[in-house]
Amino acid sequence: MNRIAIFCLIIVTISAVGPVTAAADTTNGTVSCEYPFSASDATGTTVTVTQQPSRIVTLGPSAAQTVWEIGGKDQVVGVTEYASYLEGSDSKTTVGAYNINLEAVVGLQPDLVLAPNTVSDQTVGKLRNAGLKVYKFRKATSIEFIAEKTLLTGKLIGQCQTAQSRTETFRNQVETIERAVQGEPRPSVVHILGKSGYAAGQDTFINKIIQKSGGDNIAADKFSGYQVISPETVLAENPQWITRPRTFSLSAYAGTTAVKQGQTITLNENYISQPAPRIVIPMVHLVKQWHPDAYRQAQLGEISSAVSDTPLGPTTYTSSVTETGVATLSVDNFRYREQQVANFTVPTTFENGSNPKLTTVKVKPTEPNFDFDIHVKKMDENTSLPNSSEPLAGYQFTSQGMWSDGLATLSATVELNTSEREISSTKLVAYRKVDGNWTQTGVQINQTNSTLQVQANLTKYTALYFATVTTESAHQTDIETTTTSVATTTGTQTTTNSVTQQSSTTKSTATTQTTMTGSSASTPGFSITVFAVSLIIFGRLYS
């Protein structure tokens, strides 16, 4: 079974809560778990936990996420592959993906196994016959079910206090989002789960996510649960927006208003597809896209900031190139506070044999943004640029999951081999599109032997051209140069050229030169050489 098909099945997991026969102790306003605790699960079995379990296996990512959110991570000894995005999951034993490795589960000797609704009753029965205690969750049909499931999970694993606290926060976050969009016009939306064409209909938590985020789900009027919705039906309904996880094309829906106007939203499947507390992340994201004024007025970014403090898994970067030549650069679990800048490597298949070629894209957001895509389209090299400049390479940058006002800086770097194409670094410039006109922007140049790395910065998603100028006046005016040379203990001569809007640093041993031309924002990676030289000079003068 391919990953998309598995994903489509996974999303129907977990929530609703069965009757319980024990209550938590709320003496003095605190919540502590009492044992024995009993609850009826999706199989109709009453599961009794006699003491807090110290060895837990989760058979689905939403159960794992919930346990992580309420402080039970250290109790977990086994998880499925789909929980790999959670911080610390790499130290747990993997017990399969959609198909569960029964021997691995039994071998871990867990006190409690938490199973999603997608795990068959037969599998649950085999685990119980092996002597294991298994609780199978019911299917999630609403957001409130997620809250109830969080409380139930806390009682099952002995984390009642943190479960209640997390549930209260979760409910408040959902209510804040719902109030923010009250009275706003509701765009028509469809959430497509993958290539197979499954959509979320009535009686699904994803439908409730769409509704509470201020949209109208066209599939809710068609069917209940998760079913295939044909491209013909989607085209006939003509939704204003299409939401989806990553990994599949929207070519079948090209005739919709959503695709024609670029109103498609890519959502992290670890959050949108798992009935667990982090669904507020895609909810905030949807409000930001559909109702930007409501998002700002309600300061919903604070919800994202609060959720960003919860443990995330490792930051991962992926890239792909479509048949039409568009490169998609994706980041998941971006740690905004720690990393500040997302560093994308452009796949070599994007520009095979080109000189220059785009190698890296660095993006610095203005606010927490966990998951987003950067799309890069190659532009026509015959474009007419100011000052008779000759285009070398041009790119159109757009984003999925980040607005322009969410962008602080986008830095694009191309690599140019001067042994194949003789170009002087002093002639290199860049132009960006501003209000329909080309405006020259600064470049930073790092030269090592015959390789030039040329970087230009943008503060909005737009078109960018790297070019050469034919006249000195078009490149730079009022140049004033001063040179300082310092001999190092190794005999290497370091030269710093300070120029009005231009500076260069060369190392004779490595034939490395860094040049800055025009006006540009400081970007990590290219100012390091200049800074290091400054330290050397300072050390020589004051040591």
Q: What is the pLDDT of residue 299?
A: 87
How far is residue 304's CA from residue 453's CA, in Å, rounded to a whole number?
36
Q: What is the pLDDT of residue 247?
A: 58
Q: What is the pLDDT of residue 265?
A: 83
Q: Decide: pTM greater than 0.85.
A: no
Asked whether this chain's domains 183-308 and 316-479 adopt the same fold, the reply is: no
**Dihedral angle, C-alpha 324, 328, 415, 367, nearest 10 °:** 150
The domain limits of the chain are: 3-172, 183-308, 316-479
Best CATH choice for the domain 3-172 from the list 3.20.20.70, 2.60.40.790, 3.40.50.1980, 3.30.930.10: 3.40.50.1980
How far is residue 61's CA from residue 64's CA, in Å, rounded to a whole number?
5
Query: What CATH fold (topology level) applies to the domain 316-479?
Result: Chondroitinase Ac; Chain A, domain 3 (2.60.220)
Per-residue pLDDT of the chain in tens (543 residues, 90 and over written 9): 444 444 444 444 433 344 444 545 544 445 789 999 999 999 999 999 999 999 999 999 999 999 999 999 999 999 999 998 888 998 999 999 889 999 999 999 999 999 999 899 999 999 999 999 999 999 999 999 999 999 999 999 999 999 999 999 999 999 999 999 999 999 999 999 988 899 999 999 999 999 999 999 999 999 999 999 999 999 999 999 999 876 567 889 999 999 898 788 878 888 999 999 999 989 998 998 899 899 889 988 778 666 654 545 578 898 988 878 899 998 877 877 678 899 999 999 998 888 999 999 999 988 667 778 899 999 988 889 998 899 999 999 998 777 666 789 999 999 999 989 888 888 999 999 988 899 999 999 998 888 999 999 999 999 999 999 876 544 443 222 222 333 333 333 222 222 233 333 333 334 444 444 444 334 444 443 333 433 333 333 333
Q: What is the pLDDT of residue 2?
A: 46
How far is residue 452's CA from residue 460's CA, in Å, rounded to a whole number?
25
Token pair recorded at residue 85: 């995005």
> Which residues lie across from 56 on neighbouring strands?
76, 112
User: How many Cβ atoms from other residues are within 10 Å of residue 206's Cβ?
Assistant: 26
What is residue 477's DSSP assignment? S
Q: State the amino acid at position 276 in one-letter form.
A: A
Q: What is the pLDDT of residue 540?
A: 33
Region at 262 (left for phi over 0; alpha for psi -120 to 50; beta for the rest)? left
Q: What is the pLDDT of residue 84?
A: 87
User: How many Cβ atoms from other residues are within 10 Å of residue 34's Cβ?
Assistant: 12
**Dihedral angle, C-alpha 511, 517, 522, 528, nearest 10 °:** 10
Q: What is the pLDDT of residue 499?
A: 29
Q: What is the pLDDT of residue 310?
A: 53
* Collapsed DSSP state (helix, strand, coil) of residue 273: coil
Q: What is the pLDDT of residue 71?
A: 96
Q: What is 183-308's CATH superfamily?
A: Nitrogenase molybdenum iron protein domain (3.40.50.1980)
User: How many Cβ atoms from other residues are within 10 Å of residue 380's Cβ?
Assistant: 8
Q: What is the pLDDT of residue 17?
A: 44
Q: What is the pLDDT of residue 313?
A: 59
